[in-house]
Amino acid sequence: MLRAVIQTPLCPLHRAFCQAPGRQLRRIPSCPASRSPALLSCAPWQPGIMAANALKPLIAVCQLTSTPDKEQNFASCSQLIREAAQRGACVVFLPEAFDFIGSDMQETLSLAENLEGAQIQRYAGLARECGVWLSLGGFHERGEDWASTQRIYNCHLLLDPTGHIVATYRKTHLCDVELEGRVSMKESKFTNPGPEIVPPVSTPAGKVGLAICYDLRFPEISLALTQEGAEILTYPSAFTVTTGSAHWEVLLRARAIETQCYVVAAAQTGKNHERRTSYGHTMVVDPWGSVIAQCQEGPGLCYAQIDLGYLRRIRQEMPICTHRRADLYGRVTVLKKPLPP
Ligand SMILES: O=C(O)CNC(=O)[C@H](CS)NC(=O)CCC(=O)C(=O)O
């Protein structure tokens, strides 16, 4: 029983309960993380659980309904980040377009800022104040070439608890998709593709590989990041309802299973503006492919504990990375200097 408790990613409520000496671990029905059957079992508190929890850092994943109103979006994000920090999360993940979702291309371009702008400054302040790492998925960034291209980048930033930007990844696969009568997206009309894949970054939860939304459909990038040492793959997203209901969970679990990484996917949910609704289903998948946390409908948070011991055991017991046949199909890696297209 103790074993089951130690291996179970406990939500912060469970964790708090579990750490109280002599208490029973109980299901808390209002907790969105308590979906998996393992979380519903009762177990007596035992010494050692606290130590085991300390080795399994807690992460928080945010689900939002961004609109064109930047102030309102910041207020929503900061509330979630504060709540996550209070519950003890060390890394907080925000979805693609956490800053805003414009109602048309012109509005999107006019609301975009550069990395030195007020928006990122405010998030740096929040990271410092709360003492957390922040994964800011999909910031609408006016890059250095803004004046000449009049296009932005879709930029995923990682901030450390001092508010420093420790990594920036600019979305490399742009979503140009036309499903007649249902979905129409032409991201390349207002976005430049990122020039490179960024090596994973060490955080207290593990080594984080950065990607964004539509990148999820390209297993090559997840494999390249894993071969560079990633333990946690991140896909901050704003999936459509049509494609999300068909593909979202399958793709996330497939990426987790084939790379043996944790997969963290913060998502937009609900009605962003008159003509846009996002799929939601923010989730965390473990390296075995189990969904260990998931948000309900609407804005909110879910939590998971990252157990790198569990990840290592899976990779040891099923060492797929040593079974690759690079002699047959080549090797996918992060190229320091990408080849010209
Ligand atoms: O444009 C913004 O403001 C924020 N960015 C997005 O919403 C992006 C580009 S349009 N959306 C996707 O990539 C959806 C992918 C998707 O739905 C799929 O792969 O099925």
Query: Which atom of ligand 1 lies at the shortest distance from residue 216's CA?
Result: 19
Mean pLDDT along residues 270-282: 97
Tell me, what's the pLDDT at 144?
97
Give the pLDDT confidence of 7-46 residue by residue, as tens digits: 334 444 334 333 333 333 433 334 444 433 333 333 333 4
Q: How far is the CA of 330 from the centre of ligand 1 (A)?
A: 30
Q: Does the C-beta of 64 come closer than 6 Å to ligand 1?
A: no
Average pLDDT over residues 151-158: 98
pLDDT digits (tens, 9 = 90+) for 61-86: 999 999 999 999 999 999 999 999 99
> Closest by alpha carbon to 302, among 326, 316, 327, 282?
282
CA distances from 79 to 75, 82, 84 (A): 6, 5, 9
- Tens of pLDDT, residues 188-206: 999 999 999 999 999 999 9
Instruction: Provide the CA 24 distance to its chain's centre, in angstroms.
Output: 32
Whether residue 171 lies in the annotated active site: yes
Active site residue 213: yes
Can you give the pLDDT at residue 54? Answer: 60
Rounded to whole angstroms, how far apart are CA atoms 211 and 172? 8
For ligand 1, say whether the CB of 107 is within 6 Å of any of its atoms: no
Mark out the alpha helices in the chain (DSSP H runs). 2-7, 12-19, 37-40, 49-54, 70-86, 105-111, 118-130, 146-149, 219-227, 241-259, 308-317, 326-329
The answer, yes or no, to whether any atom of ligand 1 lies below 6 A from the CB of 191, is no
How far is residue 295's CA from residue 331's CA, in Å, rounded to a whole number? 36
Rg over CA atoms, the chain: 20
Q: How far is the CA of 96 from the centre of ligand 1 (A)?
A: 8
Q: Give me the DSSP letters along 240-257.
A: BHHHHHHHHHHHHHHHHH
Structure confidence by residue, pLDDT tens digits, 215-255: 999 999 999 999 999 999 999 999 999 999 999 999 999 99
Taking the centre of ligand 1 as the mean of its atom positions, its distance from the CA of residue 175, in whole angstroms, is 6
Write the CB contacts of 239 (distance below 8 Å, at least 6 apart in sequence): 213, 247, 248, 267, 268, 278, 279
4 alpha carbon to ligand 1 midpoint, in Å?
Answer: 38
What pLDDT score was predicted for residue 19?
36
Q: Is the shortest distance between the CB of 214 and ligand 1 below 6 Å? A: yes
Burial letters for 195-218: b for 16+ Cβ neighbours within 10 Å, e otherwise?
A: eebbbbbebebbbbbbbbbbbbee
CA separation for the pair 10, 153 (Å, rounded):
36
Whether the complex's predicted ipTM is more than 0.90 is answered with yes
Burial 89-115, CB ≥16 within 10 A → b, else e: bbbbbbbbbbbbbbeeeeebbebbbbb
